[in-house]
Chains A and B, each alone.
Chain A
Amino acid sequence: MLEVRDVSVSYGAIKALHGVSLTVEQGQIVTLIGCNGAGKSTTLRAISGLVKPSAGSIHFEGKPVSRMPPHEIVRLGVVQAPEGRGIFSNMTVRENIDLGAFTRSDKHAIAADREKAMELFPRLRERISQNAGTLSGGEQQMLAIARALMARPRLLLLDEPSLGLAPQIVQTIFKIIRELNAPPPRGAGTTILLVEQNAHMALNIAHHAYVLEVGAITMQGPAAQLAASDEVRKAYLGGR
């Protein structure tokens, strides 16, 4: 579904990615784990068209997307819930959710999807006319995911959804991510590319995993296999 091939990205003189390649198959959860500054967010930014790769190519369902502006990539169905959540704190929760559906014009279907999103996150229903800036960190993360879902993503990009959240809320968020990925009728069968520092949680729900270190992929394989490997356990899971 998504093919990232030998992508390099530079910010000025600093090279953030050196030839990263990864593949996401339809229906999977693929996770990209690594330390702070390894280039995880940059990879997602490149896929969303926010930064242009200096080399390499990105294809979504066979279409080259690396030269497309971000809003057209969203129209193809590649939707990102950005790191730090990127909530519009000058608007209400409802306006934030509706902005997620910016690319759509089918009013009834949008209303139905808003209803579905609020079933998924009942907390948002309680806060619907509140200013989004007044939400707690966990609620903001829920809002960011709900907003991304409003675009009816075919590929959902999640950037550090657990960042700065209490363990219990992290559990809730991961449970929802798994539900979203579950095939119908239980879930929406959404394909997900999950960037995480919390390697333990990420490897637990993913099908396939990539390890990114200083701008390059150093390991990859089925998530369970990586979770069992000595190197990953030592470096990312706190094992000995």
Chain B
Amino acid sequence: MDTFLQTLKDALAIGSLYALIALGYTMVYGILKFINFAHSDVVVLGAWGSLVLSRWLEARTGSTWTTDTPAPAYIGLLVLLAAMVFCGLVGFTIERLAYKPLRKAPRLNVLITAIGVSLFLQNTGQLESLFGNRPRSIPALLPDQTLVSIGRVNVTTLDVVGLGTAVALMVLLEWLVFHTKMGRAMRAVSHNTTTASLMGVPVNRVISFTFVLGSMLAAAGGFLWSLKYQQIGQTADTSWTLLGLKAFVAAVVGGIGNVRGAMVGGLAIGSLEMFGCAYYKSSMADVYVFGVLIVVLLFRPGGILGKATIEKV
């Protein structure tokens, strides 16, 4: 029973992270029909941005934030918001400079450009003048207090804040996409760009907005990841590549282009990975995730919440 609860807790934590990141992949795919491979690098920027800012704040206030003497709560909130704004701007700039000029180009060109942007971010991030090529640790922004114990499983502040933030952001996004005018415009552009523009929808502005939104969620993902693991690897580290790939798998498994699908897919992939590790072999974590991708693509290529698309001939 303890194993089950502990695993469930881990699954929810990692699953909600995957979901946050998957949302960015899925929203961009829904609107522009291409996979933004640079998305996982925006997550990395979110993590490193949080690190640099909190280290700076630490030095500025002359304090040392460790697990025993963590930063006051508003610092964490400030760092999160700053990282989201920063990554939002980065996402906006990437779209403007790299993807917008290719709006009428074949999709393959955009895809290759996205890989280029990704490599650019991974490699410039390692410059000594930026983040360097060694892992660093982020100061403790939250107390690691145990709030409740169920059996031998401890639910800590970190668990609650992490899951709470992710869920709150997803609820906010759900509201935005399905209950606001901008959300309606996003769904219209995703369905048919031309018709949307005939309704007076400023298509380019909607696309920019989508990138900003996805990048802000990515920043939150990076921030939460760094809170959870503290050690953060250099910008081209394999841990980031794997995180990005798994979030992408979550988007595909949930049904790419489908906002609710990304949330479901994230939790599904997180659960699969964690329960697989706990009850079978932990060395095969990646095998479960990519294995299920193959299964889904074979038997339900539209994803869990995706609709079967009818190819018109």
Binding site for B on A (CB under 8 A): 48-50, 69-71, 74-75, 79-80, 82, 86, 88-91, 95, 98-100, 102-103, 147, 151
Contacts and interface: CB of A to CB of B under 8 A. Distances in A.
B194 interface: yes
A132 to B, nearest CB: 10
Contacts of A50: 194, 197-198
B202 interface: yes
Interface in B184-240: 184-185, 187-188, 190-192, 194-204
Contact of B195 (A86, A95, A98, A103): A86
A48 B202 CA distance: 13
Contact of A91 (B181, B187, B200, B202): B187
Contact of A82 (B184, B195, B200): B195
B236 to A, nearest CB: 38
B191 A102 contact: no
Contact of A74 (B187, B194, B198): B198
8 contacts: A50-B198, A95-B184, A99-B184, A99-B199, A100-B199, A102-B184, A103-B199, A147-B199
Contacts of B202: 69, 71
Contacts of A80: 198
Given A50-B194, A88-B195, A74 B200 contact: yes
Contacts of A98: 184
Nearest to B198: A80
B307 to A, nearest CB: 9
A226 B202 CA distance: 40
A117 B192 CA distance: 23
B181 A71 contact: no
Please list the 10 inter-chain residue pairs (A to B) with the smallest Cβ-Cβ separation, ordered nearest first. Answer: A74-B200, A86-B195, A103-B200, A70-B197, A71-B202, A102-B200, A71-B200, A99-B199, A102-B199, A88-B191
B198 A82 contact: yes
B198 A86 contact: yes
Chain B contact residues: helix, strand, loop or mixed: helix
A95 B187 CA distance: 10
Interface of B: 181, 184-185, 187-188, 190-192, 194-204
A152 to B, nearest CB: 11
A79 B195 CA distance: 11
B195 A74 contact: no
A74 B197 CA distance: 8
A89 B309 CA distance: 13
A27 to B, nearest CB: 23
Given A74-B198, A99-B199, A90 B191 contact: yes
A56 to B, nearest CB: 21
B108 to A, nearest CB: 19
B252 to A, nearest CB: 19
A75 B201 CA distance: 10
Contact of A102 (B194, B201, B204): B201
A203 B311 CA distance: 38
B192 A69 contact: no
B187 A90 contact: yes
The residue among A88, A91, A95, A103 with the most chain B CB atoms within 10 A of its own CB is: A88
Given A95-B184, A102-B181, A75 B198 contact: no
B5 to A, nearest CB: 39
Nearest to B307: A90
B194 A86 contact: yes
Contacts of A86: 192, 194-195, 198
Contacts of A49: 197
Nearest to A49: B197
A50 B196 CA distance: 11
B203 A71 contact: yes
A88 B187 CA distance: 9
A164 B76 CA distance: 60
Contact of B191 (A79, A82, A89): A89
